[in-house]
Amino acid sequence: MDLLQNICKKASLANKRIVLPEGEEPRSVEAAVKISQSKIAKVTLIASEDVIKKKYPGTNLKDVNIFDPKKNSVDKYIDRLFELRKKKGLTREDAVKLVANPLYLGTLMLECGDADGMVAGAINSTGDVLRPALQIIKTAPGISTVSSCFIMIMPKGSKYGQDGVMVFGDCAVMPNPNAEQLADIAIASAASAKSICGIDPKVAMLSFSTKGSAKHELVDKVVEATALAKKYAPDLDIDGELQADAALVESVGKLKSPDSAVAGKANVLIFPDLASGNIGYKLVQRLAGAEAVGPICQGLNKPVNDLSRGCSVEDIVNVVAMTALQCK
């Protein structure tokens, strides 16, 4: 059984409730049918029942829950949003307007315990999907940074990662993390690698320098983040600063960082900022032919995950399954 099949199987045992706020969008509707039929999760689509009937007349949605905001009361969600954000200057009128946005409504369903996780982004930007979660759901206890990782599944026969599976972070959320935030990203990505992929994490803090080969404030940030991550997670195999070749290639790792438990064996790559992370995962996806699953958000108190706007139905199914595994 491959990794994604395994994740879907584990998700079906978890039996979680996942809300898809882009509920009138064709890929989301098709994914909802597949998820329900394969019992990966219980899905709620936020959608107009009339639009669904008109646009998808032959589709079997009998096991899919449809939440139509025109036919169901949303008052408790407006009350909750107002309560949470009035100290930030939000008025009740603002709350009414925001709850009319399905991304806010879906997030409030999570907040109020009416769903366990949310997946969106087929027709909305990353920022628009995550902002309600950052404002409403907030970070899990003890965590101050929300970040993300991608699960990178290399083509068959690849010598990289654990059985060809690697985790890259952060490629989608924090534009310019400081050393403290980068340490958080490393620890959270290692935890995701373990919980979602069953990987024994070996975390490389990437830079354009290996163990002092270059001097620059951008290198200093990675050195400081590595020290902080080691302090906060002393049992984790983590090392830096490492160049990508020293992290991945055994002979180069031995040459450039001979005493490292990670160099040449890394399966979790931590990029110093969002530019390098986003460019890096897309290069590996396109040039190496890796499957990129994610971004998987880390650090939220309840799981919300973002899709790429180019996502397929299968991508939505997979991200829903992973979201189910992140639910408490």
Residue 295 touching ligand ACO (CB under 6 A): yes
* Number of residues forming the site for ligand ACO (CB under 6 A): 17
**Of the candidate residues 243, 257, 278, 305, the single one contacting ligand ACO (CB under 6 A):** 278
Q: Which is nearer to ligand ACO, 12 or 308 (CB)?
A: 308
DSSP string, 205-256: EE-S-STTSS--HHHHHHHHHHHHHHHH-TTSEEEEEE-HHHHH-HHHHHHH
Ranges within 84-103 binding ligand ACO (CB under 6 A): 88
Q: Which is nearer to ligand ACO, 179 or 263 (CB)?
A: 179
In the complex, the smallest distance separating the C-beta of residue 69 from ligand ACO, rounded to whole angstroms, is 24
In the complex, the smallest distance separating the C-beta of residue 163 from ligand ACO, rounded to whole angstroms, is 24
Residue nearest to ligand ACO (CB): 134
Which of the 8 DSSP states describes residue 42?
E
Looking at the DSSP assignment, which residues form a beta bridge with residue 268? Answer: 167, 203
Residue 135 touching ligand ACO (CB under 6 A): yes
**Of the candidate residues 130, 154, 183, 193, the single one contacting ligand ACO (CB under 6 A):** 130
C-beta separation of 272 from 224 below 8 A: no
Distances (CA, A) of 151 to 157, 216, 269: 17, 30, 11
**Of the candidate residues 8, 81, 174, 293, the single one contacting ligand ACO (CB under 6 A):** 174
In the complex, the smallest distance separating the C-beta of residue 265 from ligand ACO, rounded to whole angstroms, is 27
Is 210 buried (19+), middle (13-18) or exposed (0-12) by CB count in 10 A? buried
Rounded CA separation 304/20 (Å): 10
Residue 80 touching ligand ACO (CB under 6 A): no
**Contact range with ligand ACO by CB under 6 A, out of 69-77, 100-108, 126-134, 198-206:** 126-134
Rounded CA separation 86/94 (Å): 10
Residue 326, amino acid: Q
In the numeric block, which tokens belong to residue 212? 């002092």
**Contact range with ligand ACO by CB under 6 A, out of 18-26, 122-130, 161-169, 188-196:** 122-130
**Of the candidate residues 126, 192, 267, 305, the single one contacting ligand ACO (CB under 6 A):** 126
In the complex, the smallest distance separating the C-beta of residue 93 from ligand ACO, rounded to whole angstroms, is 18
Rounded CA separation 23/102 (Å): 9
Which among 283, 282, 242 is positioned nearest to 264, based on CA atoms? Answer: 242
Binding residues for ligand ACO (CB under 6 A): 88, 126-127, 130-131, 134-135, 139, 145-146, 172-175, 278, 295, 308
